[in-house]
Structure 1
Amino acid sequence: MGKRRLALCAGVLAVTAFGPAACAAYAADGGDVSVVPAAPAPGGDIALRVTGCDAREAVAQSPALVSDARLTPDDGDGLAGDGRVRSTVTAGTYTVTVACDGTEHRGTVEVVRKHTPAAGAEPSTYPSPLAPVNAGAGGAARDLAGGPERHGPGTAQTVVALALAGTAALTVHRAARRQARRGRRTG
């Protein structure tokens, strides 16, 4: 899938999931730079979009972002790109600035604190893998962890091994017969 189609699909998914919040944030900041989700947690990924910019490319900057976000044309009438919120940023409202054709476009992003359980409270679920991780060996961990313990080759491997051994024995027998015939003729 092309980058533009992927960006469009991600945008549609984000608007569907966070549509009301994104519209409220866009209306609240009064700018032409929108951020989805409007209230990410530190370390979260965001989608940026600027309208009213005729350039082929622009850069979004914010103290809340890990690095400047490159914006490129989307299927609409603006530029879009992705960014990541710094994991060390404190909760608060930060300005997002996009310089485009000599004009500065502004928007805001409100970084919210990650939800942490109360002191002494235990989480209801513990983070753990649901299935073995494919960690090399062609996914052998899944086979070894889930099924009954197997020893030795299976039926298919045994049949193939016997067929190969039989072919090798037949080849050696024929070679020995040819050698024996040659030996009788010369003698």
Structure 2
Amino acid sequence: MRSIPITFCAAAVVAATLVPASAALADSDSGSDRTGSDSRSTLSVTPTSAAPGGEVALRLDACGGKEAKGNSDVFASEARFSPASDGGLYAKARISSDASPGDYDIQIVCTDDKGTKASGTVTVIDRDQATPLAPVSAGGGGTAVLTSKEAHQQDGPGTVHAVIGLVLAAVAAVAVAFRRVRRRRSAED
């Protein structure tokens, strides 16, 4: 008789656990600048800031075509996109060596998809700031690469780990509730 309220409580716990988790997964981002003037096209700029003479990677999703061109006042030359191995289009663009610090707009046009457009922003930082343009993995006879991979793998838990923990906690709560109900029923008999 008391199993219906316990079932509803368990369902509420599971729902309360999964709804924030799905929202957290939807809000998680790779850290790149994502903007787009067309709802179908998304431009990713990685890294979002670079020093003069530096290079940025541009990724265009859902262009529909196999080619695109990108322009910005800060680029040394036009960025030409080509198909990426995992879908979408990919290009690299070099920041002009005489670029002044500030935010610059990037305009992308898909050349064989009815002129679909996307836009984004890149920030040029002052060269005097202590940011390496091309860090060198030196020392230890080549073990610096292995050490950097190990350090990257030892980062703390992320969103996925939090979601898994919440799901496991909800399952444990439901198991405890059912065990308690079973004990009460056997005590009543």
Greater RCO (CA < 8 Å, at least 6 residues apart): 2
Q: TM-score, normalised by structure 2?
A: 0.46
